[in-house]
A and B are shown apart, each in its own frame.
Chain A
Amino acid sequence: MKIMPFILVCLVGILMLYASLGLPFRADPNSPMNKDTSAVGSVGAANYYIRNAFKDANTPNMVTVILADYRGYDTLGETTVILTAGLVCYLLLRRRKNEN
Chain B
Amino acid sequence: MKTDSGSPIVVLSSRLLVPFIQLFALYVIFHGHYSPGGGFQGGTMLAASIILMRLAVGTHAGELQFRRTWGSKLGAAGLAIYASIGLFVMILEGNYLDYKFLPLPWLSEAEIRAMGILIIEIGVAIAVMATLVSIYDDLLEEDIDA
Give the CA-CA distance A76 to B82 in the complex, in Å. Answer: 7
Is B62's beta carbon under 8 Å from chain A? no
CB contacts under 8 Å to A, within B32-66, are 32-36, 38, 40
**Contact-residue bracket for chain A:** 20 to 34
Whether B124 pairs with A58 at a CB distance below 8 angstroms is: no
Whether B78 pairs with A68 at a CB distance below 8 angstroms is: no
Q: Give the tally of cross-chain contacts (CB within 8 A).
A: 103
Is A37's beta carbon under 8 Å from chain B? no
Residues in B whose Cβ lies below 8 Å from that of A73: 96-97
Residues in A whose Cβ lies below 8 Å from that of B123: 79
Known A86-B71, A90-B72; contact A64-B82, beta-carbon cutoff 8 A: no
Whether B36 pairs with A61 at a CB distance below 8 angstroms is: yes
Residues in A whose Cβ lies below 8 Å from that of B33: 59-61, 64
List 19 A-B pairs, Cβ < 8 Å: A58-B110, A58-B111, A58-B113, A59-B33, A60-B34, A63-B36, A64-B32, A64-B38, A64-B121, A65-B117, A68-B121, A76-B83, A76-B97, A79-B79, A82-B131, A89-B139, A90-B138, A93-B141, A95-B141
